[in-house]
Copies of this chain bind each other. A is one copy, B any other.
Amino acid sequence: MTANRQIVLAARPTDKVGVEHFRLVEMAVPALGVGEVRVRQHYLSLDPYMRGRLNEGRSYAQPQALGAVMTGEAVGEVEESQDPAFQKGDFVIGRGGWQTHFVVDARALRKIDGRTLPIRAYLGPVGMPGVTAWYGLGHILNPKAGETLVVSAASGAVGSVVGQLARQMGARVVGIAGGPVKCAYVRDELGFDACVDHKSPSFPEDLAAAAPRGVDALFENVGGDPFAQSLRRINDFGRVAICGLIASYEGSPTIIPDMRLVLTRRVRIEGFIVSDHLPLWPRALGELAAHVAAGRIRYRETIREGLENAPQAFVDLLRGGNFGKMLVKLI
């Protein structure tokens, strides 16, 4: 019998998460029931939202159970199927979690096309991060041609798609990223109009110079001081999509220091979670797949090798140690 390896949550972090909060366990892969499928997982997606689930208490997701396999999306290949809709060798995506094998009701899986695009793309620009960008941009920010859009974590899985889609809409796109290497990539490879390094001491001035006509739309993935700086430059009738606040997940809360700005500039601020909008996913995924296949959306990945390295990869993701979509290769 094949062994399944899993990473489970061993302890809840009280402050910063570390590898010590996780544990690798090994067990037999369970036998298949009728209607079930066994997936050999190839790539596991690591995403910032997972940090919130490690805490107890109110969040938009149920907390991760202690001692249970870490949840998350993964892509893989069907090894065995007790459901007529799936055949051995089919590529699939599902919420397989941090483990090498996944036995699940077939209805919880979706087939993916491994010929046109690499299957990893379904965890990135043609997956949850891509739809997140598509939704926040098209349904909250709606930048008009000539408007200035700012997006943080600009080289990341979500931010990179936000900026490239916004450029297609005719916006002036300013990225915020950590360090000159990421910024050069955002400008030169992704084609943003500008990118500002939030680690630079001249960040506020650099942002002002990159957005000389102010900010009409802000796609916020990070929070913290760069958020406050971007918000300070918001224009009348500006829109702010709160997609992520990774700087706050383990640090100081992100605040709005003076709501008068929201009033006098008639700002709209909206928090959103892409899983609230499942009916829109098929349309979004179709558009995103076409953009990626045609090279209109480019993306980058950081791929770590081996399930046992998933905890360190996750810790690194929260500290900005990734460059593009963070994945763990399991096979």
- Residues on A facing B (Cβ under 8 Å): 52, 58-60, 223, 227, 236, 242-245, 248, 253-260, 262-273, 276
Contact A254 B245, CB 8 Å, known A60-B265, A266-B273, A271-B264 = no
- A242: nearest chain-B partner, CB-CB: B263
Q: Is the CB of A59 within 8 A of B259?
A: no
Partner of A271, one of B255, B257, B265, B276: B265
Expressed in whole angstroms, the Cα–Cα distance for A248 and B260 within the complex equals 8
Chain B residues near A266 (CB-CB < 8 A): 60, 270-273, 276
Q: Is the CB of B258 within 8 A of A262?
A: no
Q: A242 CB to closest chain B CB, in angstroms?
A: 5
Identical subunits present: 2
Expressed in whole angstroms, the Cα–Cα distance for A117 and B120 within the complex equals 69
Chain B residues near A270 (CB-CB < 8 A): 266-269
The A interface, classified by DSSP as helix, strand, loop or mixed, is: loop
Q: Is the CB of A260 within 8 A of B254?
A: yes
- A273: nearest chain-B partner, CB-CB: B266
Expressed in whole angstroms, the Cα–Cα distance for A236 and B267 within the complex equals 20
- A52: nearest chain-B partner, CB-CB: B264
Q: A263 CB to closest chain B CB, in angstroms?
A: 4
Closest 7 CB pairs of A and B: A253-B258, A256-B256, A263-B271, A262-B271, A254-B259, A269-B269, A268-B270
Q: A141 CB to closest chain B CB, in angstroms?
A: 13
Report which residue of A255, A260, A267, A273 has the largest number of chain B beta carbons within 10 angstroms of its beta carbon.
A260
Q: A232 CB to closest chain B CB, in angstroms?
A: 11
Q: A273 CB to closest chain B CB, in angstroms?
A: 6
Q: Is the CB of A264 within 8 A of B223?
A: no
Expressed in whole angstroms, the Cα–Cα distance for A224 and B262 within the complex equals 14
Expressed in whole angstroms, the Cα–Cα distance for A254 and B262 within the complex equals 11
Chain B residues near A223 (CB-CB < 8 A): 259
Expressed in whole angstroms, the Cα–Cα distance for A265 and B245 within the complex equals 13
Q: A153 CB to closest chain B CB, in angstroms?
A: 14
Expressed in whole angstroms, the Cα–Cα distance for A255 and B248 within the complex equals 16
Contact A59 B264, CB 8 Å, known A242-B259, A259-B242 = yes
Partner of A255, one of B245, B259, B276: B259
Q: Is the CB of A260 within 8 A of B253?
A: yes
